[in-house]
Amino acid sequence: MKKVLAGLVVVACAVVAAALREPFPGPLVTVPALVAVVAAIGVAAWLPGSRPVLPLLTGAVGVLSAVSVILWLADRGGNGGPLTYFHTLGILALIAMTVRWSPARHAVPAAAAAALGEALLPLQVVQPVSTVVEGVAIGVFWSLGTAGAVGLGVYLRSLDASRIRAVREARRAQRVELARDLHDFVAHDVSAMVIQAQAAQILLDRAPEEAAATLRAIEADGTRALAAMDRTVRMLREMEGEDVPAEPLPGLDDLPALVHRFAEVGFPDTELELAPPEPVPREVATTIYRVVVEALTNIRKHAPAGSSVSIRVTDQGGAILLTVADRARAPEQPRLPGRSRPGVGLAGLAERVQALGGTFGAGRQGDDGWLVKAVFP
């Protein structure tokens, strides 16, 4: 791209030279015109590297143009002709780029200096003006181009600001999403650790070997929770542009291991049926895993120990149907200790499923059970 624009500089100079007519304009016309054209093309060719010097360059071209016109009026060295039009286009391009890319404190004085130089340029192509009022009127009319360049720069600047805001909002949404991920995965393992720690306290005196096995299970759950937090930190670093190795999120292939760990902690009567339609999109598979994790976490917190649990991922006319249901075998059995304040896991899962075009529901199933259901198109 830079080579193309650099070639345009040469072409522009050749066109300007070909457009010249007798009498040949003096250096007060040709030099600032060529400087403006070459500066505009050069800045565009080397963006974004040229942005730091853009206001200074635009202001300098504007001052050079204004001084050159004033000196030319004192001793006319030939009519500007086509060169003045090229000169004007170069200044307008510099103004538009300065307004778009430069900080306001630098863009305003630079654009003002360039606008003054541009307003004086028509004096090189019109007949000698008879009054000051006529000269001002010509300059104001010629400055309509400056107004257009400023408007274009402001418009493009607003688009850039909107894009930056959109990126910022997207990153914020991703951080919220990662916070939900952390809840889905870590809460499951931490709740298992709490229940196993309670069991270990009971088994410590009566069955030391079983207590030791329970402690090893707590260690494994803690390791998985740390891995989930590490994965979240990796994702946050990726969002900030750091180069970190990617780690795939769990999906359907990880469900059997998840269910096996769950069954070992107080719910041996847990069954899993995996018969989804093929293929299953990766984002759907990951969401199914998260729904199951949240559902099992809630069962572990609120359902009586020993409840039967059924997890099914099946084909429903081309759609994927997920159900997680639990039913207490002894309704009079007391519930396990749980939080008195409800969490936000199910609400977050509903948003996930709906974002994929699916439906989500959760509620009581009779007097002694709970059903979580999600359908993915």
The 10s digit of each residue's pLDDT in 226-239 is 666 766 666 666 66
Strands, E assignment, the chain: 270-275, 308-316, 319-327, 359-364, 369-376
Strand order in the sheet with 308-316: 270-275, 308-316, 319-327, 369-376, 359-364
175-213 per-position pLDDT tens digit:
776 666 666 666 666 777 777 777 777 777 777 777 777
pLDDT band of residue 114 (cuts 50, 70, 90) is very high
Quote the DSSP letter at residue 337. P
Residue 60 has pLDDT above 80, yes or no: yes
Least trusted range by pLDDT, from 13-17, 216-220, 322-326, 368-372: 13-17
How many Å separate Cα 314 from the centre of its chain?
A: 35
Q: What's the whole-number average pLDDT of the chain? A: 79
- Please state the rounded mean pLDDT for residues 31-59: 88
Residue 128 has pLDDT above 90, yes or no: no
The CA-CA-CA angle for residues 182, 188, 189, to 5°, reads 95
How many Å separate Cα 270 from the centre of its chain?
A: 41
Task: Report how far residue 174's alpha carbon sits from residue 168's, in angstroms, rounded to the nearest whole number.
Answer: 10
pLDDT of 342 reads: 41
Q: Which residue in the block uniquely carries the two structure tokens 């946050």?
A: 236
264-278 per-position pLDDT tens digit:
777 888 899 988 887
Residue 250 has pLDDT above 60, yes or no: yes
Instruction: Report percent pLDDT > 70 for the chain.
Output: 75
Task: Tell me whether strands 270-275 and 308-316 are parallel, antiparallel or unpaired.
Answer: parallel
Task: Report how far residue 46's alpha carbon sits from residue 6's, in angstroms, rounded to the nearest whole number.
Answer: 9
pLDDT band of residue 8 (cuts 50, 70, 90) is low
